[in-house]
Amino acid sequence: MSIMNWKKDEAVAIITMTNGENRHNLDFSKTLSGFLAEIEADQSVSSLIITSSDEKNFSQGIDVPWIMGKMQENDHQPVIDFINEMDKVFKKLLLYPLPVIAAINGHAFGNGSILACACDFRFMRSDRGFFCFPEVNIGIPFRLGMNAFVKKAIPLYKLSEMQLTGNRYTAPELEQHHIIVKACGNQDELMSTAITFAKTFQKKRGIFGEMKKRLYGDIIKVLDADVMPSTAKINSLVVEG
């Protein structure tokens, strides 16, 4: 079963996640990385949108049942590979020589919200879905690399509140704090607004990529230093008590 696909609307590439809650695991990270490479290779593309086909969810984040299954089997390597592969996806998005726009059509939780923050711009439906960092409630702290680039998308005063409370936020609340560009009334408005915005970009890839490289250089250093070693114990990612 396909977990995502991509198509073009004129010069706009649209990656659509098609796997329900769109949970992140090793297959997800490898597939998304491959699509990003394909789209970058298409010189006719001038911008990229990431969205979901699910009626309720953009992405519910990490595939916890998959991780728990690997832990029970004492098979940590696939999980370590996923974490490092997902970091490569985040880095690729940060340095992508095209504008990357998240069209958040439903719930964005945990790693799903983090994926949206790795994009350059965000739009979200106001009639459906919450944006949330539930990590404080489930005992999984943000890794240093994640914290570094989430700060580019969310003002620190609001990020502190979001991370330390684990509260859910609506699109109008996010728009108020400039976390998203616009809260859109429904699905049709979300996609038409995101695509119209994407089509305003006709930037040369060289300068666009270099601008992002310099803008996010400090974040990339943190990501590069935060690689999960192959000897890591996945149990250490969870903080109890």
Strand partners, 50: 15, 102
Q: Going edge to edge, which strands form the sheet with 121-125? A: 4-9, 12-17, 47-52, 100-104, 121-125, 182-184
pLDDT of residue 237: 58
Length reported for the chain: 241
For the stretch 46-99, pLDDT in tens is: 999 999 999 999 999 999 999 999 988 988 899 999 999 999 999 999 999 999
pLDDT digits (tens, 9 = 90+) for 180-200: 999 999 999 999 999 999 999
Whether residue 229 has pLDDT greater than 80? no
Q: Is 100 helix (H, G, I), strand (E, B) or coil?
A: strand
Work out the angle between the directed axes of helices 64-72 and 77-95 (0-180°, nearest 10): 150
Angle between helices 144-153 and 156-165 (to 10 degrees): 130
Q: Which of 221, 217, 212 is nearest to 40 (CA)?
A: 212
Looking at domain 4-198, its CATH superfamily turns out to be: 2-enoyl-CoA Hydratase; Chain A, domain 1 (3.90.226.10)
Identify which of 22, 29, 178, 45 has the alpha carbon closest to the alpha carbon of residue 100.
Answer: 45
CB-CB contact of 66 with 23 (8 Å): yes
Helix or strand (DSSP H, E) at 200: none
